[in-house]
Amino acid sequence: MHYSLTAGAQRALIQAERIASGSTEMEPTLAPLLAALALEESRAAEIMLAHQIDLTLILEEFQIQLPGDAVAFSIDSPEQPLEMSQALQQYPAFREVLNHAMQQASRSDVPAEIGSEHLLWGLLATSAEESAWLQRAGGLSAEKLDDSINVLFRQTAEPIDVDFALRKASATAGDQTNTLRTIDAAANRLREGLRVIEDFLRFSLDDAHLMSLLKTTRHQLADALRFIGTDALISSRDTINDVGTSVSTTSEFDRSSLEHLLQANLKRVQEAARTLEEFSKLISPDAAAIFKQMRYASYTLEKTILTCISSQRRLQDSRLYLLVSENLCHHGAGPAIRESLAAGVDLVQIREKSMTDRQLLEHGKRVREWTRKAGAMLIMNDRPDLAIAIDADGVHVGQEELPVREVRQIVGPRRLIGVSTHNMEQARRAVLDGADYIGVGPTFPTLTKNFASHEYAGLDFVKQVAAEITLPWFAIGGIQADNLQQVLKAGATRVALSSVICSHEQPGQITRELLEQFSS
């Protein structure tokens, strides 16, 4: 790295390296640098002399012997990169001083090279013995040296006298009218964009949860415009003379799909919110603050809607989600997985609690081979690290495990993240957090987890989710062949199963029987 140092500061560091190289100390101290600063005819030497500290006093205190070539010298180029100096390569203590010096130089109101006075300040900013000695011997400290450095830069950067002054011009009535016209037009764009998105959520996605979020945004728009004044906006409107109404591009009429239409209007909402935020600052900071919140909310809404669409596409054929635990399987996990895959299961979760990490890794690699051969997806329970290690398609976490945000940081953008939910608040939160699918339950008592009787979400929870959320979800918990129809009638289109398949003597046969219930 290249540092901008004065020639004097560079000479001091190189002198310090020469002095330190002749020292018998096992761990070089900052005394050689302190001596080098006093040896140079520099600003640092002047400051120390003003506090009755000179080279002789330093040499006596720290028992330093100057090498024969430690005399004033010049370097060939004042722009010599400092990384070439052995002083910084061999002596970490000198680098610490330089780091402090850089911080001090950066405080200046004007661009400043790192000079010897900054190196002296950096030395004083350390906890080294030399810093304490300077305080005792001459009353020098980093705080006191601040004043000397600041005075120096105030002297070298005097303000320039000017014969004119900038004054804030008062806004004219025309300015305010044009501002209000801009806000009115942007508000109309935002309102129209929201309406298009709302109609998509209502008629294409059929998602009541996301519709409610959009309704909140519409209320925010109304609240913000009250600060502006709706009457003033209407009075300032001039659609006839708006030059923008006669300008159009071919891309405005290019909508290749519903998803493309949705994205175009999401961007329209975000752009309009930015315009509203900026222009409202001229009239109402309160309105500008609300528009800022709306803009950020629109980014979350965009992510949530597009994640929902993408997940629906990826999981559109998934009906039975098999959760496999070795201890539940009648003939072991291997036969249960292979037979259920052959029978039509296309989503498998490894859910082992008793295996060591190494056993789980090897087991996961085997299951990965089986699922890949069958064209099925593989999910790892609770362990995003192992999901990556076995190249799984995703990871599933519960309410007590890592949050979605942290899991996403580990597994990246392409792997699925599933979240277990036990009430509507958790389900809604998982959608907004960016989950790709959710588990909904427990629906009935289950062998795989212990829940108190009052903790069962039951079929009512299934009905609530079915009425509100279209992000792919799986009813889970105690679902068997004889109660599956109750779950489907409650609104579920996907279920997660474990013991009913794993503990069956013929996993493939029961899998086919369960799948038949979806079409009956």
What angle in degrees, to the nearest 10, is found between the helix axes of 129-138 and 31-39? 50
Task: Report angle CA 266, 199, 424 to the nearest 5 degrees.
Answer: 85
The length of the chain in residues reads: 520
According to DSSP, the β-strands at 394-397 and 473-476 are: unpaired
Nearest residue to 367 (alpha-carbon basis) of 356, 357, 378: 378
How far, CA to CA in Å, does 75 sit from each of 7, 35, 406?
A: 8, 19, 52
Q: What is the CATH number of domain 7-156?
A: 1.10.1780.10
CA 220 from centroid of its chain's CA atoms: 26
Task: From 295, 349, 297, select the one nearest 320 (Cα to Cα).
Answer: 349
- Residue 104: closest CA among 135, 51, 130, 142: 142
User: What SS3 state is found at 5?
Assistant: strand
- One fold for both 7-156 and 173-312? no
| Secondary structure in 3-state letters for 259-302 | HHHHHHHHHHHHHHHHHHHHHHCCCCHHHHHHHHHHHHHHHHHH
> Helices 208-228 & 424-433, crossing angle to 10 degrees?
70
Task: Return the CATH fold of 317-519.
Answer: TIM Barrel (3.20.20)
What's the first-to-final CA gap in the chain, in angstroms?
71
CATH of 173-312, one of 3.40.1000, 3.40.50, 1.20.1260, 1.10.3470: 1.20.1260
Domain boundary assignment for the chain = 7-156, 173-312, 317-519
Output the tens digit of pLDDT for each of the chain's 520 residues.
445 788 888 888 888 888 887 766 656 688 888 888 988 777 888 888 888 898 888 988 888 888 765 554 444 433 444 443 455 666 788 888 888 888 777 766 555 678 888 889 888 989 889 989 998 888 888 887 876 665 444 444 455 555 555 555 566 777 899 999 999 999 999 999 999 999 999 999 999 999 998 988 989 999 999 999 989 999 999 888 888 776 665 556 677 889 999 999 999 999 999 999 999 999 999 999 999 999 999 999 999 999 999 999 999 999 999 999 999 998 899 999 999 999 999 999 999 989 999 999 999 999 999 999 999 999 999 999 999 999 999 999 999 999 999 999 999 999 999 999 999 999 999 999 999 999 999 999 876 666 555 567 899 999 999 999 999 999 999 999 999 999 999 999 999 999 999 999 999 999 999 999 998 7
